[in-house]
A and B are shown apart, each in its own frame.
Chain A
């Protein structure tokens, strides 16, 4: 969908055209769901998070005025996901008070991935949020530095720094994981 089509759909939706908003959902729900997955939302929560994103988009569509719609959409998705992470963290803390250990939940559909891809996936999921989000946007969503800057409300230089440091951490993790697998092979 071109920017012009986005604009037309949004204008129609703002004027009460439900079908126009449905078209926005049709076009963007996969983007939202994939991005949420990439930044660590669990599989069982993806549906709720995706719905919540579009509820917020609908409520605040009048606040979106210029710039790329996708940039704003990523920003909304990020905020909804962060709120979800906070709730998840609080729930986990409560569980940990009564149960000593709580196993980490990872995206489990990775059985056919190579070792390197699996290590990268796990490493990204446990990266600090400040690195995880720009990594997901840059490498998986093909967002530009300028777009990430707008999505995360950060300067472009800060985005570059976080990408650089995040990549270094992932490469280090990959290297460590690689050695581990080599040792296992022997």
Chain B
């Protein structure tokens, strides 16, 4: 097939797109932005029902799902690295391990300039961030400041913000295609971060597996997610009556998928944890 035929079709389509009548109005957009400014963090009071930490359950589910779909993720025996609690949210982790991008570039694609050159700025940027950030929280009519501290993970190439007393377990497991971190904020609230290589699975497949796992455990997708994360490529919230809320957020960066999961016991809705979780996800910055 000729290049000319393809080019002409694309050009015609481009012209058609550019001539399409706009459906949005700048004034409506501006009004929507103005309305969104009035939102502040109001802690919801859902009543308290105690729930234990379910981090281990979440991870087990993910791993079972991963193994069922035939992925080579061995997390038992010698591959499971013993937990090493960093314990300092401002700790800079060591290590240099990185995943390869397994896109199998063609010869044409391989003949390119060094793409890392343009990433030098980002390399510095993800580490050179304010040491702390603060969110204003209103709980039971009282407003107070919630301060979070910068956390830099040099090995996996990201930074974000955590509560000061968060205990970080660097390798809840590690394989060639999957690395897991646990951020234990309190005994009842942890955040799990899984970094999948692109070879391990696609964003869509990881999301479907996550959803299937949650549904198989009796959770149903919530109609009105809270909190709503701003930056992920994919996100969702699942609930189980009289129990808890589970969240997932997936972010794709340079061939890897960063999967964040957390479970909030119902009692925790009456506190700071939704803000901590939202900040952890929305403040993720990659190398």
Contacts and interface: CB of A to CB of B under 8 A. Distances in A.
A178 to B, nearest CB: 8
Interface in A10-51: 18, 21-22, 25-26, 29-30, 32-34, 37-38, 43, 46-47, 50-51
A30 B32 contact: no
A26 B26 contact: yes
B230 A158 contact: no
Interface in A114-162: 114, 116-117, 119-121, 124, 129-130, 139-140, 145-146, 149-150, 153-158, 160-162
Given A79-B233, A160-B112, A161-B106, A114 B9 contact: yes
Contact of B33 (A58, A116, A145): A58
Given A55-B36, A58-B36, A171-B1, A43 B109 contact: no
B138 interface: no
Interface residues of A, number: 65
A26 B33 CA distance: 13
A158 B234 contact: no
Nearest to B282: A60
A156 B113 contact: yes
A92 interface: no
Interface string A102-115: 00000001100110
B6 A157 contact: no
A65 to B, nearest CB: 7
A117 B30 CA distance: 35
Interface of A: 18, 21-22, 25-26, 29-30, 32-34, 37-38, 43, 46-47, 50-51, 54-56, 58-60, 65-67, 79, 82-83, 86, 90, 109-110, 113-114, 116-117, 119-121, 124, 129-130, 139-140, 145-146, 149-150, 153-158, 160-162, 164, 167, 170-171, 174-175, 178
Interface of B: 1, 5-6, 8-10, 12-14, 16-18, 20, 22-24, 26, 28-30, 32-34, 36-37, 101, 103-106, 108-110, 112-113, 115, 118, 121, 125, 202, 204, 207, 221, 230-236, 252-255, 286
